[in-house]
A and B are shown apart, each in its own frame.
Chain A
Amino acid sequence: MAAATTASPIEQSRPAFALSGKAKEAIKVGLAIVVTYWLALKFSWMSPTWAAVAVAVISQPGEGQSLYKGLLRAIGTFLAFFSSLVLLALFPQDRWMLFVGVSPVLGYFAYKMKGENDYLWYVAGFVTVMIITAGPQQPGHAFEFAAYRTMETLIGIGVWAVISSLLWPVTNLGVLKSATDALLDAQRQVAQHGFELLSQREGAGSPPALLAQEAQLVAKVGSLINVAASETYEVRIVRRSWLALQQASLKFMHTANRLRLGAEDLEQIDMDAALPALPDLSAELGARFAEARSLLAGKPSSRPCREVSLEIDRQAIEHLDHFQRAAVEVARTELEQLDAQTRTMVYAVGEIAGGREAVAGKAPQSTKPLRGPAGLRPIDRDQLIAAAFVVASVWVSAFIWIYINPPGHVAWVQFVPTLALAAMRMPHVRFFPLRLMGYAFLVGMGVYVFIMPHLSGFVQLAALLFAFTFLTDYYFAAGRMPLLLSMLIMFGITNEQSYNFASMANSYLYTMMGIIVTFALTYMVGSPRPEKTFLQQTQRFFRSCEFLVSHLDPPESFVGQVREAYYRNVLRTLPAKMCIWAKRIDAKAFPKNSPGQVAGLLEALQLLAYRVDDLLGSRGESAAKVLAGDLGESVREWRAVVDQAFHNWSEVPETDAAPEQMDRFSGHVAGLNARIEQLFNQSGRAEISDAEGRSFYRLLGTYRGVARAGLVYAKQARAIDWAEWREERFE
């Protein structure tokens, strides 16, 4: 008992009062805002709020100096500076032509607004509308306006960089290393669960929480590499190795996922007997993850990666039918991929620990994004809609300004497209930030009316700004950005501060009207109800599957290649987007569809996406001719059934959940198996070479994989009450 009450030496040396990390971040942001305002007011810059807005946007609590985000903002601002000045120079006296010119530029920025650099394009978009509206506001001063805007943004970035690197500096290197270590540990556990599932010692596989953690860590490491490289030389020189590690982890996640989701295909098969080296590979992968973590922690290399030969025991699979053999072959291919991916991880971590760049030739290849013909990226429908929506917002706000001219006047053309750009960055959180802005403006109004007129001098103003920024950052971290932006705009701080209630009330009115108009415009994109979007996405998913399965032969024409790239891209990206929307479905409003059921449906869709992608990837297999020739008729029949199922699901997602359809589906698979057996017996193909055999079974495995994934989907779709989601309700 006495020992429990005695403070340890560490506790004794701890100061009585210590600031939390959250408080430190809030102090840093508050200080940066105050210093930025001081500089802007001291030098009488055009709008001091711009510099402060830059600080509010780039300061990210808990993620170090955010210099990378600052860099993106600076590039975006420069891009907007040049594009808007060109537009103003081209159409100096014609507002309609100016809007015609702005539309494609803004549409392009909105289209590009995805991926890790989406912030750059977002900034380019909203600064462009900001500068072009300077024309009507201050004719003849557009260049000055644009130059001030650019300079103040850069000053805001600079102030934040200095403060965050001098005061309680936090670099992202530590965060990156700890996230990578956690990722390696999570993937070790995923691999372990996967092998247990294959050996059928445990039937559950990885728990969903572990898989979610793995996905989050892969994304986190990916987002941190460029951020850390922008601030740390140690990361910059081995950036390629970090990227190779992250790509290998991403591939590992997908391969392990395929293996896990496809494990049901192997349930009747003794995998330990079919692949005797399975326990050996399991132990080797575990050792590789341990080695990678040890290298990351700065310890010397203790063991090289060992070769594990995954040979199939022919005697053990003799009694299996051809589809089961194909499933074993597919599993072996996936296990070999896991082997290669973990090897890449160890190699990349070795290079990171050694502090040298990856050696050419040895460096692992990163996953290349899907490309269409002529190396072009496939068209993204969601981004096209985002572009159309942003352009529409420009025109709607222009009409409101020109023909109605409500309070706000030309600022409508600036405010509504900015909100539209923000809404399209995160389409699944449509109204939350807008509502938050409404509240923040209300608070800002209170401060503007009751506190600000009593301030005399910068010291008092600084105290107010610091207090507000600190409280917002500390207590409302989730909505800090819209809150800070709204308040800074509402304060409207300038050197010659004047107070006007009518102007403030007008400003609030126009802000609220702008928010309502933007929200109403979002109906152009579709219903804000997540379950409705989910339904549409499910149908789109199956339309893509239908197209890809019905056009299996590689297209020769340019248009055909563009279409295939488009649908394949949908297949690869849509399940992840659907996951985001599914999380926003209100489970209380739809009690018949539990989150677990929705997660099961999503897993089935993901499995289907993998299998259809595998089917397309298998077109180059040398055994493809066998399936096209001897088994052509059966394969065509099978394809017709699958094609019809996809078509039905694309119209009504639960159509083929009927048992008779499922029987028909699996009946064709069984028929094909009998036909293969017959052909093998007739032509003595049992004696085919090992390479040919592997190719044949791999190909057969992809066909079987699609069919099995379809059956899994049908089973999951039956558990969902689709009518409940379709039912109309108010938002």
Chain B
Amino acid sequence: MFDLIPNEFAIGGVYLPPLLVCAVFGLILATATANLLNKYRLARHFFYPPLVFVAFAVIYTVLIGTFVIRA
């Protein structure tokens, strides 16, 4: 299924680096995860949530870059 997703994106003839697209999706997913953790009061189990947020963003970016949009 993921083979159908292009690994290069072009807007107006300008190619965007795959890593940039992965990072944007990674940020969106990290924000969604953080909101869910806040909603269910699970964020209190983390020592320093801002760093956890960065970690989520990096993990999602790597996962998307490896399995969805192959950079």
Contact = CB atoms under 8 A, between A and B. Distances in A.
- The finding on whether chains A and B are genuine partners in a shared complex, rather than unrelated, reads yes
Interface of A: 449, 501-502, 505, 523, 589, 727-731
Given A501-B12, A730-B50, 13 more contacts: A449-B12, A505-B14, A727-B44, A728-B43, A728-B44, A728-B45, A729-B43, A729-B44, A730-B37, A730-B43, A730-B49, A730-B53, A731-B34
Nearest to B54: A520
Contacts of B14: 501-502, 505
A730 B44 contact: no
Contact of A730 (B12, B35, B47): B35
Contacts of A727: 41, 43-44
A346 to B, nearest CB: 55
A731 B53 CA distance: 9
A152 B24 CA distance: 39
B38 interface: yes
Nearest to B13: A501
B46 interface: yes
Contacts, number: 35
Contacts of A589: 38
Nearest to B42: A729
Nearest to A726: B44
B2 interface: no
A534 B40 CA distance: 24
B67 interface: no
- 6 interchain residue pairs of minimum CB distance: A730-B34, A729-B43, A727-B44, A730-B49, A728-B44, A729-B38
Interface string B14-55: 100000000000000000001101100101111111101100
Interface of B: 12-14, 34-35, 37-38, 41, 43-50, 52-53
B26 to A, nearest CB: 13
A728 B49 contact: yes
B44 A731 contact: no
A396 to B, nearest CB: 16
B49 to A, nearest CB: 5
B46 A728 contact: yes
A723 to B, nearest CB: 10
A728 B47 contact: yes
Contacts of A501: 12-14
Contact of A729 (B12, B47, B49): B49
A533 to B, nearest CB: 15
Contacts of A505: 14
A286 B42 CA distance: 57
Nearest to A502: B14
Contacts of B12: 449, 501
Contacts of B35: 730
B60 to A, nearest CB: 15
A502 B16 CA distance: 11
Contacts of B45: 728
8 contacts: A505-B14, A589-B38, A727-B44, A728-B47, A730-B37, A730-B49, A731-B34, A731-B53
Nearest to B14: A501
A731 B50 contact: yes
B27 to A, nearest CB: 10
Contacts of A731: 34, 49-50, 53
Given A505-B14, A730-B34, A730-B37, A523 B50 contact: yes
Contacts of A523: 50
Given A501-B14, A505-B14, A728 B48 contact: yes
A449 B46 CA distance: 44
Contacts of B52: 730
A731 B51 CA distance: 11
A505 B16 CA distance: 10
Q: Which of A727, A728, A730 has the most chain B CB atoms inside 10 A of its CB?
A: A730
A332 B69 CA distance: 77
Contacts of B34: 730-731
A730 B39 CA distance: 10
A454 to B, nearest CB: 15
A88 to B, nearest CB: 36
Contacts of B53: 730-731
B8 to A, nearest CB: 15
Q: Which of A501, A589, A728 has the most chain B CB atoms inside 10 A of its CB?
A: A728
A731 B46 CA distance: 13
Nearest to B31: A730
A727 B42 CA distance: 10
A731 B43 CA distance: 10
A523 B48 CA distance: 12
A648 B29 CA distance: 43
A100 B45 CA distance: 42
Nearest to A527: B50
A535 to B, nearest CB: 15
Nearest to B53: A730
A730 B45 CA distance: 11
A725 B43 CA distance: 13
B51 to A, nearest CB: 10
A467 to B, nearest CB: 24
Nearest to B44: A727
A501 B12 CA distance: 9
A292 B44 CA distance: 56
A727 B47 CA distance: 10
Nearest to A723: B44
A728 B53 CA distance: 13
A731 B54 CA distance: 12
B9 to A, nearest CB: 12
A523 B13 CA distance: 39
